[in-house]
A and B are shown apart, each in its own frame.
Chain A
Amino acid sequence: MRTIRKLLLLSLSTIVLATGASTAASGAGGCVKDIVTAAASEAAALADGGVLAAVRSGTVVVLDEQLAATAYLHTGNPGMTLRHAAASRGLGVTYVEDRLGADAIHHVTSTGATSFVPGGEATHPALASNGSIAYAVDLERIEVRRPDGSTRIVDRPEGTSGLFSPLFRSDDEVVVVAEEAAHAEAHTHDDTLNNLWSHDLRSGAWRRLTAFSASGDEWSILRTPVLGGAGEILVIRVTGRASAEGEPRYELWEVRGAETTRLRTLPGEAFLAGMTSHGLVWNGFDGDWRLFLETPGGPRFLACGGAMVDPRLEADPDRADDEPLPVEATVAQDLTEPDGEGALGIAIGDYDGRAEATVAAALLGMPTARIVGHDEQPLAVAEERFAILIPIGPLAQPEDELDALRARFPEVKDRSWIVPVLTGQG
């Protein structure tokens, strides 16, 4: 976040805000609210496409060849969330309407506007020069919809568990990000290792382009690939560890021929929006998604909006609030259970034996501390392990108590936790 603020400060003097007739009204996150010039239809200028498209708050933002931005209102359901957009000069604009359940993809060209529902969560649309649209469905497969409306399903290559972010390198070649199966130590079912793969639409053959790896609880993922001017692929690699605290590492990588090269390490979160004749366009988040052009003099703010990044300020319709269960319908609401406020404590541990924990407490200057094991506190301490237990009073803030303890005893910072405590025991 701080990175983007720096970028923004650097670019304030060179902001070109060409969103039609813009106002100074601040929207959420401080982004200037766009004045919409027209509805997103075949009659609008966006039908010709542009060099880059983004979405924001129900509008489609299109950059023309001078990188001037114009916002168009999507005329679908009020309050809908738009997600991911792509544009190409002469080919129009395509974007996803995120709906409850199956999403819709809209494609606006000078010959008409079409919409279709792929039958799942649609993401990452991309345009080919022949007018085909590629997109991911449920992050499981890629579909290529031809201009005649026919659709080809591209299943994932062996050894992978998901596909997304398709990119046409030519009309016959799609480059995608493939999710590889999580290794056993990853301690997650989720996205732990990504690599770029190339799919030949004529032969159906797959070819792996990168060989990133991850082990232990490390993860290495790829996001927002874009096509460079000479056919190279630029992509953001993010690496981290599931158990770690702090921001992960962001890097810009290039895949050119058989070479995969790290171009630079980024100071913080940043993603790619596209390559233009003016240079690389970035997406950064600073309370709202913003587009920046990379220039020799620093980043130049272009407009607000996200190209292939996920909307953060708008609700995902699939994750909206749900109705609470009626009391009589759930076994969790048995009013015969003893009612009260669950007690909390701080556990310092773990130790292999009660004697070791007792000595540790003495060394910390806590000679009267309670030493507990699993028998006394089964929710807080593992079998055959022991901990020093410090009760937290009912009026105290648990986080404040933990901070105070760690400030007093820095040596226990990585071995102290707030735990549920069964009162009357231990």
Chain B
Amino acid sequence: MEGKMPGSRPGRSAARVAVALAISVLVLGPAGALAGHMHDWVHDHSSRGVPPRPSGYSELTRTFGAACNDRANDTRTYFPHVHGRWRPGYVYYHPYLARNVGHNIRGHVAKRHREGAMDYGQWGYSCRAMRGGTSWSTHAFGAAIDTNTLRNPMGQSYWDGRGADGTDHGRYLPDVFRGNYPGHRFRWGLSWQDPHHFQYVVNY
């Protein structure tokens, strides 16, 4: 069954957005416009609503369902570099991670005025197999987020912390994803030379 397209409509609207964002970057610094909206954001340090991180294939499927199930892309969050650098769009993922990704990752970065630390490309749900393998990608379950893909391609054994603003933010972004409160705890793909990949499952 055909599903939703990952991303909002590009084109003239996106181009206007890109221009507007470019101007805001010059005037306000990266993410200046968005940060102004974030005064009601809260950081969820609780475990409620941020359920346990599954381990292994069996727990993964019990938690997220089968690969490419119609639930796996039912949550969306607006990210700044989906269609290109400073070309925002929606990232889709499983509702199990709604507070994790929506508030504790994306909201955290926006609140800290660090959207310039993020960079193209940013992806979530994608129905596909693991590269070269017969296992499903964690993206097929809506259980993983990619960010800063362009500067951190698969096969690279280090994290390039430069963001869309050209500044080296070090490990700021990986640390947001893999913090030790329940609302974070993504497994970083750096261990298997996939530095832009953050998944909410281990041992798979």
Partners in one complex: yes
Q: Which residues of A contact B (CB under 8 A)?
A: 1, 28, 121, 123, 136, 138-140, 162, 164-165, 177, 179, 187-192, 217, 219, 221, 223-224, 238, 240-248, 271, 308-310, 312-313, 315-316, 318-322, 324-327, 329-335, 337-342, 344, 347, 350, 374-376, 378-385, 398-399, 402, 414-415, 417-420, 422-425
**Measured between C-beta atoms, what is the minimum distance from B48 to chain A in Å?**
6
* Chain B residue at smallest Cβ distance from A342: B103
Query: Quick check: A382 and B37 within 8 Å, CB to CB?
Result: no
Query: Quick check: B132 and A313 within 8 Å, CB to CB?
Result: no
Checking B67, B126, B129, B179 against A333 with a beta-carbon cut-off of 8 angstroms, the contacting residue is B179
Point out the residues of chain B lying under 8 angstroms from A321, CB to CB: 55, 187, 202-203
Total contacting residues, chain B, CB less than 8 A: 96
Whole-angstrom CA separation of A424 from B37 in the bound complex: 11
Checking A187, A315, A384, A425 against B37 with a beta-carbon cut-off of 8 angstroms, the contacting residue is A425
Checking B74, B103, B130 against A310 with a beta-carbon cut-off of 8 angstroms, the contacting residue is B130
Query: Quick check: B68 and A246 within 8 Å, CB to CB?
Result: yes
Whole-angstrom CA separation of A382 from B87 in the bound complex: 11
**Measured between C-beta atoms, what is the minimum distance from A125 to chain B in Å?**
14
Q: Which of B141-178 contact A (CB under 8 A)?
A: 146, 149, 153-155, 172, 175-178
Q: Which residues of B contact A (CB under 8 A)?
A: 1-8, 13, 16-17, 20, 34, 37-38, 40-46, 48-49, 55-58, 66-78, 88-90, 92, 95, 98-99, 102-104, 106-108, 110-112, 121, 123, 125-135, 137, 139, 146, 149, 153-155, 172, 175-181, 184-185, 187-188, 191-193, 196, 202-204
Query: Quick check: A385 and B8 within 8 Å, CB to CB?
Result: yes
Max chain A CB contacts within 10 Å: which of B70, B107, B127, B154?
Answer: B127
Checking A189, A242, A246 against B1 with a beta-carbon cut-off of 8 angstroms, the contacting residue is A246
**20 new A-B contacts at CB < 8 Å, known A191-B128, A243-B127, A330-B176:** A162-B132, A188-B126, A191-B132, A245-B2, A245-B72, A245-B127, A315-B55, A321-B202, A322-B178, A322-B191, A337-B43, A341-B46, A342-B103, A379-B77, A383-B13, A384-B17, A398-B98, A418-B98, A420-B107, A423-B40
Query: Quick check: B203 and A315 within 8 Å, CB to CB?
Result: yes
Whole-angstrom CA separation of A208 from B105 in the bound complex: 44
Query: Quick check: B188 and A322 within 8 Å, CB to CB?
Result: yes
Query: Quick check: B153 and A342 within 8 Å, CB to CB?
Result: no
Point out the residues of chain B lying under 8 angstroms from A221, CB to CB: 129
Query: Quick check: B43 and A339 within 8 Å, CB to CB?
Result: yes
Query: Quick check: B180 and A333 within 8 Å, CB to CB?
Result: yes
Whole-angstrom CA separation of A383 from B13 in the bound complex: 9
Point out the residues of chain B lying under 8 angstroms from A340, CB to CB: 42-44, 46
* Chain B residue at smallest Cβ distance from A194: B132
* Chain B residue at smallest Cβ distance from A416: B74
User: With contacts A243-B5, A325-B180 known, is A422 near B202, CB below 8 A?
Assistant: no
Checking B73, B106, B175, B202 against A325 with a beta-carbon cut-off of 8 angstroms, the contacting residue is B175
Q: List 29 A-B contacts (CB under 8 A).
A: A1-B66, A28-B58, A139-B132, A187-B6, A187-B121, A191-B129, A223-B129, A241-B127, A242-B126, A243-B3, A243-B6, A244-B1, A244-B3, A247-B67, A310-B135, A312-B57, A319-B204, A321-B187, A333-B181, A339-B44, A340-B46, A378-B37, A378-B110, A382-B8, A384-B13, A384-B16, A398-B98, A399-B71, A418-B75
**Measured between C-beta atoms, what is the minimum distance from A236 to chain B in Å?**
9
* Chain B residue at smallest Cβ distance from A308: B134
Whole-angstrom CA separation of A325 from B41 in the bound complex: 23
Whole-angstrom CA separation of A44 from B49 in the bound complex: 54
Checking B69, B89, B112, B177 against A245 with a beta-carbon cut-off of 8 angstroms, the contacting residue is B69
Query: Quick check: A315 and B48 within 8 Å, CB to CB?
Result: no
* Chain A residue at smallest Cβ distance from B1: A246
* Chain B residue at smallest Cβ distance from A269: B134
